[in-house]
Amino acid sequence: MPAQQPTPASSLPVLGQSIPYDRFLDCVHCGLCTASCPTYVETGNENDGPRGRIYLMRAVVDGRLQLTPAVQNHLDSCLDCRSCETACPSGVQYGRLLEPFRVEMQQTPAAKIAADNWFHRWILYGLFPWRNRLRWALLPARLLQATGLDQLLRRSGLTRLLPAKLHRLHSQLPRLQPTEPALPAFLPAIGKRRATVGLFIGCVADAMFRHVHWATARVLQQNGCDVVIPSAQTCCGAIHYHTGAAKPAISLMQQNATAFKTQQLDAVIVNVAGCGSMLKDYGHIAEEMHQTSDSHTDFQLKTATNFAAKVMDVHEFLMKLGPVQPTGRIDAVVAMQDACHLQHAQKIRQQPRDLLKLIPGITLRNINEPELCCGAAGTYNLTQPEMADRLGTRKLNCLLEVNPDVIVSGNAGCSLQLQAHLQQRDQHIRVLHPIELLDLSYRNLPLNQT
């Protein structure tokens, strides 16, 4: 008989209603996950580890524990990196516990009041998910960088006069690449057509890393793919969903699922690990949203599931398709930074390595503690700056140990985090997407052409 969910005391918040109670029972509290949990490794606090957080959530659901600020802080401090899922021998679906619980947690009156601030309203929700707004907002930063005034402001300390979160945003800003034109609606395959794919461009990634989208499109073309880029696509919804704003997240999910005509595509390609994880979870999320009484949406489970089934990370897709051999030589020592939502959430680890090893001249080096998060975790490095900095420092130390010429990462957030920490140390090491190196090799261009 399946375990029955206990009924909480009426005086306590009723949380976890969208989560099948058996998922909590999958955890046998063996503790094998703790060594792979970034926050537990840093603090040594059981409440900051996966099994501790599962115990806290279950105790709240059971009515044995109130959702106090201390309990919420332990849950909020989780990066949702999912490294515990990779380590777990019992197959605990930690992400499918934490994420819906957080959504419900953020619907409590206290959480709604706390989230009703200028940063959430104007930055997290009003700016980041909208690529055109963000592109316009970055114009002053581009001007300051072009004139050198940006470094002058940093050295003078004037940026510290900004509100704390704006100062944090400024400190995380990398050297912005020259603006490239928007991708067209269609790019044809080079040579014999082997597949027709849609390319997901998202929000922050398109505003700050459009050059990676162009590199991805060119690589797909070189591998015989017609590339379709729907203009109606939008943010994947992760920014809203992971901060508990469920209804806007569902709206964005609906828009993406209908923008891509999946019946005409062999795959929907994504080159950002965090977005890919979110897109692949659309079916799970839609199902969870329909379990909660406050989720009024016409987002159909079938639509979400069909869309999610077509989503593939670009490394995953190319290795499945069979990549065309690149010929351009790139003599460089490359350090691999495995993005959490690639290696843990999507279980994609070997494919980026296999692609890089195809490039003549590349020396690929793995690093210590590859399972630990770099501290980016979407908006985590803005909302939890202290822990994010501790983890960023730890990750960069591991990367620098192998003396790389280039650091590669398959996630925009990781790239921003690593570039910020390199800048703080005055280290001039490039942080690139693996596909950028593959693109250079296909085009027989040197490394300095990125």
Q: Would residue 181 count as lying in a domain?
A: no
219, 148: one domain: no
What CATH number should be reported for the domain holding residue 95? 1.10.1060.10
pLDDT in tens, 66-108: 999 999 999 999 999 999 999 999 999 999 999 889 888 887 7
Distance separating alpha carbons of residues 75 and 47, to the nearest angstrom: 8
Asked if residue 160 lies in contact with residue 205, where contact means CB atoms within 8 angstroms, the answer is no
Q: Would residue 300 count as lying in a domain?
A: yes
The parent domain of residue 299 ranges over 186-321
pLDDT of residue 4 exceeding 80, the answer is no
37, 158: one domain: no
Pick the last residue of a domain from 111, 136, 151: 111
Distance separating alpha carbons of residues 86 and 224, to the nearest angstrom: 34
Q: Would residue 421 count as lying in a domain?
A: yes
| Count of structural domains within the chain | 4
pLDDT score of 267: 98
305, 255: one domain: yes
Q: Would residue 15 count as lying in a domain?
A: no
158, 192: one domain: no
Distance separating alpha carbons of residues 414 and 376, to the nearest angstrom: 6
pLDDT score of 111: 64
Give the torsion through C-alpha atoms of 100, 102, 103, 107, to 10 deg: 140
pLDDT in tens, 10-53: 444 578 888 999 999 999 999 999 999 999 999 999 999 999 99
337, 315: one domain: no
Q: Across the chain, what does the average pLDDT equal?
A: 90
pLDDT score of 346: 96
Q: Would residue 378 count as lying in a domain?
A: yes
259, 191: one domain: yes
Pick the last residue of a domain from 60, 83, 111: 111
pLDDT in tens, 184-229: 999 999 999 999 999 999 999 999 999 999 999 999 999 999 999 9
Q: Would residue 272 count as lying in a domain?
A: yes
Q: Tell me the average pLDDT across 138-153.
A: 85
Structure tokens at 220: 């797909």
317, 345: one domain: no
Of 203, 281, 300, residue with least CA distance to 242? 281
336, 442: one domain: yes
242, 265: one domain: yes
308, 355: one domain: no
213, 291: one domain: yes
Q: Would residue 2 count as lying in a domain?
A: no
Q: Where are the alpha helices (DSSP H) in 157-209?
A: 164-171, 204-208
pLDDT in tens, 334-356: 999 999 999 999 999 999 999 99
pLDDT of residue 150 exceeding 90, the answer is no
29, 60: one domain: yes
What CATH number should be reported for the domain holding residue 255? 3.40.50
Pick the last residue of a domain from 66, 90, 111: 111
Q: Would residue 4 count as lying in a domain?
A: no
